[in-house]
Amino acid sequence: MAGPFAILSALARSVWRDLRTFSSISGNNIALFVVIVMYQQPQSVAFFLMILGVLLLGPLSGDPLRKVPPDRLALWPLSMRQRVGLRLGSLALSPVVWFAVPFFIWTGGAAFGLLLIGAALLIQVAVGIWSHRRPGRPGARLAVRLPELPGRWGGLIQKNLRQMLTVLDCYAALALALGGTLYRVFGARPDPDAFLILALVVVIAVSTYGQCLFGLDLPWGIARYRVLPLRGYEILLAKDVAFLLVAAVLVAPLALLPGLAGALVALAVGHHASVLQPQRQARWRFAGGALWPSGFFQVFPLVAIGVATGRASTWYLGLALAAYLVSLWYYGREWDKGT
Amino acid sequence: MQFGELVAVNQASFEIPSGRICAMLGPNGAGKSTLMKMLTGLLAPLSGEAFVAGLDVHRMPLEVRRVVGILPESLGLFDMLTVEEHLRLCGPIYGLTPAETRRRADQLLDALGLEEGRHTPAGQCSHGMRKKTALALALLHNPRVLFLDEPFEGIDPVTAQTIGELLLMTAKHGVTIFLTSHILSIVDRLADWIIVLRNGHIVWQRPASELEGSLEDLYFDLVEPVRVPDLPWLGPSQS
């Protein structure tokens, strides 16, 4: 069994490296928000932790054995017994099993936990047979289909939208927005002030992406931007339009104008890190930014301007727009200098 | 151009007539890619000037990028976009209508043998397909000058032949082509103007027709002779 053990130990290293990519959440503004809620209102934090937990479990639930290229796996001289051993052993490397099994044993008893392990084994075997019958590259295309957008920048905006929809931040924001909308529609006597706060929480959830707008383009996509006949502000604007579209759709049922004001501020601040300190990001992970200084200077002004727009005057939206336009002009020039 | 203490390209001066295929040769680190980047406005030289299609590269970088097609060394593809989506994204940026973009994209995909893989995301394409996609992007807007950084490296002979024929056909339409390569046999077949670069200096530049011996001999004479030291641990020689 030396062969399967060697493969399993390589898989374990790969799973561990994969797990480390989830550490990006520690630099996400939603983490800052959760810490604040934990301190201010500990009884509410479970809801946010549950959303984050569910979203993290999604990408973690993949078959660990799929990390081995199918062609390579087929080439290894392993007997049928060894292959079955490998398949069962790989199950122990699934992070979902580490979390789910103790949880279910704790809540539903050992019998229930064992039943789940049996079900998971069956699923793994089914996946194994399926991948054997349909060989192909692992991680087949998980792209979000979007309609073609018109205009010179239409293709760029569409691409940026698709990229943005592959970070978990959007889905955390979607869960929050859905929760808020359900509360608004079905709540017995919903508190009108809550919608403003919920809209801003939604914007906080996507705001980190505003710090790493080029993170999914790195490294090769940047070379393409450099050869296109576009000015820096145009490239940034195509990124920002995608961000604002997502933010607008999510906050529309809650508080559109304060949400947009917050999103504009998040972009105005985020341009600095996006253009001058671009960080590579991974798909189907939370965006990893920097809580200090970018996250701090995004979250507090966006909340302040959002609350001012919602409670004092919509003129504050104009202020947010002005700040955004100055940032777009300045960092567009910085982008151009980078050529 | 200087990187710290290293002068990457120094006193490079040349002029390429339009409609020619110019190949720039030189060993790794000679400054070919740096020179290419300076000519396409991606790097600013410390001194001197460069004109491409009559446009000052330093003063009008955007105008230059509109009239040139570039195949960067890194290819510059977005992993999550398919081959076809790349073309459809770039066409309108160069002012092509969606219909015209589609028409040209279909023709380019056909000419480069990318028809079957048009819906494959760039991240899942072979190196040859990625190279051909980047070449299609460089040609899409009918540029006046093509800059190709290592277009023949890492691809199979059929793909190399396809690209070569396409470049010859493009040059016949009056497009000037400036390419770098290490594959002397292909350069010998395609290029009608040759520049050899060594340590950031141009050591030879002439029409290919003025070559007296073979390109290979010229290259090894000018750049460095082949030297293979003996490796005694391989055991005694059999011959």
Determine the straight-line distance between the first and last CA of chain A, rounded to whole angstroms.
Answer: 55
Q: Show the tokens assigned to A244.
A: 């604002």
For residue B139, pLDDT over 60 is answered with yes
The pLDDT value recorded for residue A336 is 92
Tell me the three state secondary structure of residue A22: helix
| Residue ranges of A 179-218 with Cβ closer than 8 A to chain B | 216-217
For residue A203, pLDDT over 80 is answered with yes
Q: Show the tokens assigned to B100.
A: 């015209």
Report d(CA B93, CA A155) in Å as an integer. Answer: 9
The pLDDT value recorded for residue B2 is 56
Contact B41 A143 (CB under 8 A): no
The pLDDT value recorded for residue A199 is 96
Using CA atoms in the order A72, A78, A79, A80, what is the torsion angle rounded to 10 degrees? Answer: -40
The pLDDT value recorded for residue B217 is 86
Diameter of chain B by CA atoms?
A: 68
The pLDDT value recorded for residue A136 is 46
Contact A228 B61 (CB under 8 A): no
Contact B88 A155 (CB under 8 A): yes
Q: How many CA atoms lie within 13 A of B95 on its CB side?
A: 8
Closest CA to A265 of A230, A303, A231, A239: A303
Shortest Cα–Cα distance, B66 to chain A (Å): 5
Going from the C-alpha of A73 to that of each of A78, B126, B202, the distances in angstroms are 9, 20, 50
Beta-carbon count within 10 A of B215 CB? 19
The pLDDT value recorded for residue A11 is 85
Residues of B in contact with A218 (CB under 8 A): none
Report the Cα A70 to chain-centroid distance in Å.
Answer: 28
The pLDDT value recorded for residue A137 is 45
- Of residues A145 and A299, the one with the higher pLDDT is A299
The confidence band for A95, taking pLDDT boundaries of 50, 70 and 90, is confident
The pLDDT value recorded for residue A1 is 64
Give the chain B residue whose CA is nearest to the CA of A138: B124
> Domain B2-25+42-179+189-223 belongs to what architecture?
3-Layer(aba) Sandwich (3.40)
Work out the average pLDDT over A16-42: 83
For residues B74 and B94, the answer to whether their CB atoms sit within 8 Å is no
Residues of B in contact with A237 (CB under 8 A): none
Burial A319-337 (b: 16+ CB within 10 A, else e): bbeebbeebbebbbeebee
Shortest Cα–Cα distance, A150 to chain B (Å): 8
Report the Cα B56 to chain-centroid distance in Å.
Answer: 20
Q: Is A264 exposed, middle or buried (0-12, 13-18, 19+ CB in 10 A)?
A: buried
Burial B5-38 (b: 16+ CB within 10 A, else e): eeebbeebeeebeeebbbbbbbeeebbbbbbbbb
Q: What is the pLDDT of residues B90-110, one digit of tens each?
A: 999 999 999 999 999 999 999
Report the Cα A126 to chain-centroid distance in Å.
Answer: 29
Tell me the three state secondary structure of residue B205: strand
Going from the C-alpha of A246 to that of each of A129, A239, A254, B84, B163, the distances in angstroms are 39, 11, 14, 25, 41
Whether residue B61 lies within 8 A of chain A, CB to CB, comes out as yes
The pLDDT value recorded for residue A306 is 96
Q: What is the pLDDT of residues A231-248, one digit of tens each?
A: 999 999 999 999 999 999
Q: What ipTM does this complex have?
A: 0.80
For residue A116, pLDDT over 70 is answered with no
Whether residue B89 lies within 8 A of chain A, CB to CB, comes out as yes
Whether residue A39 lies within 8 A of chain B, CB to CB, comes out as no
Report d(CA B173, CA B167) in Å as an integer. Answer: 10
Residue B56 DSSP label: E
Mean pLDDT of chain B: 89
Closest CA to A234 of A156, A320, A159: A156
Work out the average pLDDT over A327-337: 95
The confidence band for A139, taking pLDDT boundaries of 50, 70 and 90, is very low
Closest CA to A272 of A338, A331, A216, A335: A331
Which stretches of B36-128 are assigned E, i.e. beta strand? 51-52, 55-56, 68-71
Q: Show the tokens assigned to A159.
A: 């691409």
| Residue ranges of A 293-322 with Cβ closer than 8 A to chain B | none
Looking at mean pLDDT, say which of A247-261, A287-301, B200-214 comes out highest: A247-261
- Of residues B12 and A163, the one with the higher pLDDT is A163
Tokens 């790989």 correspond to what residue? A90
Q: What is the pLDDT of residues B212-238, one digit of tens each?
A: 888 888 888 888 777 788 888 888 877
For residues B87 and B105, the answer to whether their CB atoms sit within 8 Å is yes
Whether residue A137 lies within 8 A of chain B, CB to CB, comes out as yes
Going from the C-alpha of B37 to that of each of A230, A295, B72, B216, the distances in angstroms are 17, 35, 9, 26
Lowest mean pLDDT of A6-20, A134-148, A272-286, name the range: A134-148
Report d(CA A48, CA A54) in Å as an integer. Answer: 10
Contact A223 B74 (CB under 8 A): yes
Q: What is the pLDDT of residues B142-198, one digit of tens each?
A: 999 999 999 998 888 988 999 999 999 999 999 999 999 999 999 999 999 999 998
Element (H, E) at B198: strand B193-198
Give the chain B residue whose CA is nearest to the CA of A230: B62
For residue A143, pLDDT over 70 is answered with no
| Beta pairing, strands B2-3 & B6-7 | antiparallel
Domain borders along chain B are 2-25+42-179+189-223
For helices B127-139 and B83-93, angle between their N-to-C axes, nearest 10 degrees: 20
Shortest Cα–Cα distance, A56 to chain B (Å): 22
Q: Show the tokens assigned to B166.
A: 């396409």
What's the pTM?
0.81
Residues of A in contact with B75 (CB under 8 A): 220, 223
Contact A221 B121 (CB under 8 A): no
Closest CA to B79 of A222, A149, A287: A222
Contact B85 A155 (CB under 8 A): yes
Lowest mean pLDDT of A130-134, A217-221, A245-249, B168-172, name the range: A130-134
Q: What is the pLDDT of residues A43-55, one digit of tens each?
A: 778 888 878 777 7
Mean pLDDT of chain A: 85
